[in-house]
Chain A
Amino acid sequence: MRIGLAKRETRSQKISALVPIISFLVSLILGGIVLAFSKANPLNTYIYMFRGAFGSWMAFSETLVKAIPLMLTGLGVSLAFRIRFWNIGAEGQYVWGAIGTAWIMLYWQFLPVQMLLPLGLLVGMAAGAIWAGIPAVMKAVWKVDETLTTLMLNYVAILFAEYLYYGPWRDPKGYGFPGSEPFPREAWLPRFLGRAHWGLFIAIVIAIILFFFLARTKWGLEIQMIGKNPNAARSLGVNIKWGIILVLLLSGALSGLAGGIEVAAIAHRLQKGIISGYGYTAIIIAWMSQLNPIAALFVAILMAGLLVGGDQLQMMIGLPAAMGLVIQGLLLFPLLAGTIFTEYKIRIKKT
């Protein structure tokens, strides 16, 4: 008997949907092995994690707090991935969003205070867009590899933010704490449950708009063409260079918005804790949601649950909080491996 792979005649929709789910279960099993090695009962641990993330309104609101920036960065990264532009710079774009919003909130206070929030978020988006636009232009014009440029620019953004809150923007009344002055209270983004805030609704509305934009507009069609066959797209009259630049501006703007919302709703100042790794988790979200904007919302909640649940582990049973991150990392392997089953099926042959 021999086992081989046979190509499918058509792509299976059912399998496409199943792959992320099965991958998640496989990653739980793999994570369980890691847990068993650290002498913890995997099942109990997972139950603790679940309770920690979803067990009460309080817990769920904390999960939402983390899910909101993950949703927006996840949407931004997915958009870039749709044209096969490997934007792993969401972290930097997010940080620039936070800087841009903070700049308006701190230094434009001569404006009416109700203008600070919308203007701040817009400037944050613009800052994120520019930060993604730089590697996009380099790729479109000079074919510079974007994985390197986007990754490197993350460090530039993070270090610049550090310079700001350790240096010129540091709150003189902040007892030496690395952070800016707080924003005016009237300009904060309102909360609705615990610390969960209106950013959730912004993210949901954006996801729905993106879904429609990608599926039902000619620009969405062109994005698909660029992503799936740039040569054919070009010969059919699609302008690839502008396509790359515009999509990346949008991608960066979404990550920038995530950063802006985070400072406007949670931190209320530009401070050290803002740099969080959301931009990297966004990559996993993009893959696991298979670049579908609506799916990205749910995957972001799941990933946030892993983060919050991981924090709980530390408090409840003394396991490192990084356990959540370990499972997140383990997710990517079965996910990437699993996509082979959308194109191939297993064939068992008797000889």
Chain B
Amino acid sequence: MNREKVKSPVLRMVGITKRFPGVVANDSINLELYPGEVLALLGENGAGKSTLMNVLAGLYDPDEGEIFIRGKRVEIRNPQDSMHHGIGMIHQEFALVGNMTVAENMILGLRDIPFVPSMSEVKEQIKKLSKRYNLKVNSDTLIQNMSVGEQQRVEILKLVYRGASILILDEPTAVLTPEEARDLNRIIMTMLDEGKSAIFITHKMDEVIQFSHRVQILRKGKSEAVCNTKDVTQRDLAKLMVGREVLFRMEKKAFHPGSVRVKLEHVNGEDETGRQFLRDISFEIRAGEILGIAGVAGNGQQKLAGVLTGLFSVSSGRIEIDGKDMTNKQPIQMIRTGISYIPADRGRMGIVGDMSVAHNLAMKKYREEPLSKKGILHPKRILSFAKQMISFFNISTPEPSTYVKFLSGGNIQKTILAREIDACRGILVAVYPSRGLDVGATEAIRKQILEQREKGSAIILVSEELDELMAVADTIAVMSEGEIMGVVDAQTTDIEELGMMMAGVRRRSS
């Protein structure tokens, strides 16, 4: 946009270099931000987007480079410095205290609050700001009683309360419904009108097109290009981001479903506090079918996957695998039926970080021959098995004996995928398998899932990316508050229909 060009930049980063052991995360990157604009920072995972922004937020100390704010050179050594210069960042993990109110969260961590802060003044201020930006935030609500979208608005409020004029948002839409994402966009736009500006980190091309004025693309720690958003297409962006042409449409064979493998009948689930997380869930999945589960994160999808893998028990209803009653069985019994599971929370559920890549790859098959015999492990066979998997699934690791936690996110996911796909005997439960992965890795993972479908597996794919579901799944069930709002054909549905159901509107049965 030309009107920005005539103004001087509010923020300038020059020659920022940040090295981590073995990798240059940022290689002399320059970045400019003008008042009143949204700059999208686009790149694959590990391209250095978050690193660059963490430098700005005072969390990392750059090895080289200078930062200028409104033309003046500044030193940012810690988050307080950053805040002092009007920079505010919203991380993917919110920095809110759950059992405190909005107002209390507002003043937490502020440097110069009086010993007994006047909460009425804080609340007054919140009311004013909330009204000005249409944030709809009540200062007395406890954070833990708010939805993710509301919590995000509290984070935004926190930034403006502290007087931030440069907002950094790290993948802000990952946790939102399409509707909430549009709301967020409106809020940001109001702020821009006051001369504030925003940088938002993303790896989704459509968001760049929708939300930003300019886009800067990072690849492998280097700045690849800076362009005006209106001059580029999604395809251009993808090419710049990955460095090659990307297939958007997956090759997908015709749908030839076989016999019913998985059947749920009126399944209800309650947690220890009596809160219902699944309500009357019924569906069937046949061999060679991918059932996509859509919904905003936290609406029971992960619990559903947990029920299918024996991690959560149900309070009523029936789960059948191949016609056999498998309701409330232990995880090991579900594994023995041939279920493979790709969990949402990789680090917590999928891998043991402090163990080797080889051991992690063997964690499904170590119980039986050839990897063990009568309980005694066979280290040589484990190693050669691991080497096979590493080369077949293209896992990049220094050694099979390297601890998994030292791998990148994409390679950790490939390790899980390799183990689960290899051990899969007909049923695959995949939860957010491509979350946070770059285009290349996402493509590889979708291909593997489709391959399983062709082999006749029954697959449940939980995803928050509607494009992914429409491209990969055969049928799509939409969940809201633990309930299935409707089941539609992936070929014929559209974003609007899915979006309505995600927001909790039941589909009229046709």
Contact = CB atoms under 8 A, between A and B. Distances in A.
Interface of A: 4, 6-11, 216-221, 224-225, 228-229, 231-239, 349
B71 interface: no
A152 B133 CA distance: 57
Interface in B321-343: 330-332, 334-335, 341, 343
A229 B349 CA distance: 8
A228 B360 CA distance: 12
Contacts of A8: 21
Contacts of A229: 348, 351-354
B390 to A, nearest CB: 16
B349 A9 contact: no
B402 A10 contact: yes
B177 to A, nearest CB: 28
Nearest to B423: A236
Q: Which of A6, A9, A218, A220 has the most CB of B within 10 A?
A: A218
Contacts of B377: 216-218, 220-221
B385 interface: no
Contacts of B332: 237-239
5 contacts: A9-B22, A218-B366, A218-B372, A218-B377, A236-B335
Given A10-B406, A228-B353, A232-B352, A237 B21 contact: no
SS of B interface (majority): loop
Contact of A7 (B21, B354, B363, B364): B21
A217 B376 contact: yes
Given A220-B377, A232-B349, 7 more contacts: A6-B21, A7-B21, A217-B376, A221-B377, A224-B359, A228-B352, A237-B330
Q: Which 3 A-B pairs have the closest CB atoms?
A: A237-B332, A229-B352, A9-B21
B70 interface: no
B353 A216 contact: no
Contacts of B359: 221, 224
Q: Which of B22, B363, B403 has the most CB of A within 10 A?
A: B363
A4 B363 CA distance: 37
Contacts of A9: 21-22, 406
Contacts of B330: 237, 239
Contacts of A221: 359, 363, 366, 377
Contacts of A7: 20-21
B258 interface: no
B172 to A, nearest CB: 27
B379 interface: yes
A236 B363 contact: yes
Interface of B: 20-22, 61, 63, 309, 311, 330-332, 334-335, 341, 343, 348-355, 359, 363-364, 366-367, 372, 375-377, 379, 398, 402-403, 406
Contacts of A4: 61
B350 A232 contact: yes
Contact of B352 (A6, A220, A224): A224
Q: Which of B20, B335, B343, B375 has the most CB of A within 10 A?
A: B375
A4 B59 CA distance: 13
B460 to A, nearest CB: 15
Contact of A224 (B311, B351, B355): B355
Contacts of A228: 352-355
Nearest to B382: A221
A236 B366 CA distance: 11
B343 A225 contact: no
A23 to B, nearest CB: 21
A347 B359 CA distance: 32
A236 to B, nearest CB: 5
Contacts of B21: 6-9
A9 B376 CA distance: 31
Contact of A225 (B63, B352, B402): B352
A235 B349 contact: yes
A205 to B, nearest CB: 18
B398 A10 contact: yes
Contact of B331 (A224, A237, A349): A237
A35 B402 CA distance: 44
A9 B377 CA distance: 28
Contacts of B334: 237
A231 B348 contact: yes
B311 A218 contact: no
Contacts of B349: 231-232, 235
Nearest to A8: B21
Nearest to B348: A231
A218 B353 CA distance: 18
Contacts of B398: 10
Given A6-B21, A237-B332, A232 B364 contact: no
A236 B352 CA distance: 10
